[in-house]
Structure 1
Amino acid sequence: MSLREALAGGGGLLLLLLTLVEFAPIKVNPWSAIAKAIGRAINADVLKELGAVKQGLADHIRMDDERNADEHRARILRFNNELLRDIPRTKEEFIDILADIDYYERYCDEHKGYKNNRASHAIANISRVYDDRLREHDFLASSSNERDTEDTLDT
């Protein structure tokens, strides 16, 4: 069977049919589907490696986020420990630690599998002490506040 006989027979009809279907108002694109199938077959190994790289990147991001949350938790626990040892703190230091607490609690809410049992009591204590100091106006004065007070007293 020659090429001419094949085209005259069913091959030419199939070629014509695929071309007509592609130009029809219906969005069926057989040539694109065939090209995609061939492309997937040729690039199967690359696509498999790309999937592995994506998974590795996702794992790395998850570990980095957990490490960041661990650092926030460590700062919270350290600050609470200093409060328990009666080390005075400024209002600005409380505001900074409250921002750490906000980040940490948001992370815990978004990642239910992350263990939070070590910081929940420390957070409650920090919040309680902050409320007490706010009510009593007895934060440690920051050095800039002390200079302002001294300047006022000198004049």
Structure 2
Amino acid sequence: MSLRDLLTELKEVLPWGFGALFVLSGFIEFSKIKVNPWSAVVKWLGRCINADVLNKLDAVETELAATKKKLDEHVTMDDERNMDLHRAAILRFNTELIRGLKHTEEDFNEIMHNITCYERYCDAHPEYPNNRAVHAIKNINRVFDELMKTGGFL
């Protein structure tokens, strides 16, 4: 048999041999190397078939991320607005105390709730400007302590 005949025969046998090996590898698991070409082929076919759906899904995920970012910004803005309202109530109450207006114990309990909410938010959000009511809070606490001792609520 000549070299030319051998090459011709190899050309005919090799494609069938590789094809058989490919088919058998789908059923045989090698001990150390787990080869499953069928899953790769099926995955590739699935991506080809579902390319439009996958592209739309990517677009939806991008829009969802943008919407989440906007929502987070709105929630932050709303929380800060609420804290601004708490701070305004604290400052207003302190101004009333300075002007000599008397308050009930319930008024003080309500403003103490505002102070607690405001201080918790400030502790949890160091980026929020929280030094605008420090003296007012100290004054309200001082007056409240005095009124608790004397019973001088309205």
With normalisation by structure 1, the TM-score equals 0.68
Q: Distance in 2 between matches of 1:96 and 1:114?
A: 23
Residue 91 in structure 1 maps to residue 91 in structure 2: no
The number of residues matched between the two structures is: 124
Q: Does 1:8 align with 2:19?
A: yes
TM-score, scaled to structure 2: 0.69
- The CA distance in 2 between the partners of 1:57 and 1:92, in whole Å, is 36
Structure with the greater alpha carbon radius of gyration = 2
Q: Distance between the aligned counterparts of 2:146 and 2:107, measured in 1?
A: 15
100, 116, 122: which is aligned to 1:102?
116
1:43-90 per-position Cα deviation (integer Å, ceiling 9, x unaligned): 111111111111111111111111111111111011001001101100
Shift of 1:116: 1.1
Measured against aligned partners, the alpha-carbon deviations of 1:105-130 in whole angstroms (never above 9, x if no partner) come to 00000000001111111000000000
Partner of 2:139: 125
Q: List alignment gaps of at least 5 residues for structure 2.
A: 1-15, 31-38
- Alpha-carbon offset, residue 41 of structure 1: 4.0
Q: Please report how far the alpha carbon of residue 13 of structure 1 lies from its aligned counterpart in structure 2 after TM superposition.
A: 5.1
Gap change, CA 1:59 and 1:8, over 3 Å in 2: same
SS in 1 for 2:100: coil
Of 7-16 and 120-129, more deviation after overlay is shown by 7-16
Q: What percentage of aligned pairs have identical amino acids?
A: 43
RMSD: 3.0
Alignment of 1:4-153 (within 5 A): 8=19, 12=23, 16=27, 34=43, 38=47, 41-42=54-55, 43-140=57-154
7-16 or 61-70: which moved more?
7-16
User: In structure 2, what is the Cα distance between the partners aligned to 1:10 and 1:46?
Assistant: 42
Match of 2:5 in 1: none
